[in-house]
Amino acid sequence: MPELPEVETIVADLRPHLVGRIIVRCELRSLPHPVVRYPQPQQFVDSIAGLRIDVIGRRGKFILIALDGGRMLVVHLGMSGQLRLIDAGAEIANHTHAIFDLDNGKQLRYRDPRRFGRLLLGTETELLDSGTFPRLGRRCSSTKRPSPASATSTLTNPFIARVFALTAPRAA
């Protein structure tokens, strides 16, 4: 299973390439057993097309991609998942379950040989009410403030801001 530093590295590597991009089209290749857990696969494909990527970050091992319209794409890599930015003409590797075509001609591809990962798409209410996105506990106490370059400083969506929020240390 990708560990926390690996998830952070994936997010940091993808951030400069994804923020501001528009998802033109999505193709799910793992039917009839899709990695999409919410909403239904066809609704997922229809809903994500045309949305702009505002922010990419992580909370725990969840990769959180904030989209316009108050929606969020949640990616959990499971045991063997990969999220890679690839040229559209590149050969599609085995076990590639989702392909997101971007407006710059690149593709964001989700690959997971063991299928333990998952993709979710929705608003705060939809994701929490569906029971597919866990109610995450408080972050570890920290006295550090986020740097201006971090995703937390650019958040405008209230749900995303709450998910990424740093909590003040508890009084002893």
Q: Is residue 160 in a domain? A: no
Q: Is residue 88 in a domain? A: yes
Q: Is residue 164 in a domain? A: no
Q: Is residue 111 in a domain? A: yes
Give catalytic status of residue 2 as yes or no. yes
Among residues 3, 16, 32, 91, which one is catalytic? 3
Give catalytic status of residue 3 as yes or no. yes
Collect the ranges in the chain with pLDDT lower than 50.
Answer: 141-155, 166-172
For 78, the domain range is 4-137
Among residues 2, 34, 39, 41, which one is catalytic? 2
CA-CA-CA-CA torsion sign (97, 128, 47, 68): negative
Specify whether the CB–CB gap between 100 and 49 falls below 8 A.
Answer: no
CATH at residue 93 = 3.20.190.10
Q: Is residue 158 in a domain? A: no
Separation between Cα atoms, residue 3 and residue 107, nearest integer Å? 24
pLDDT tens digits, residue range 73-91?
999 999 999 999 999 999 9
The pLDDT value given to residue 103? 97
Q: Is residue 132 in a domain? A: yes
Q: Is residue 143 in a domain? A: no
pLDDT tens digits, residue range 86-119?
999 999 999 999 999 999 999 999 999 998 999 9
Q: Is residue 146 in a domain? A: no
Count how many domains the chain has: 1
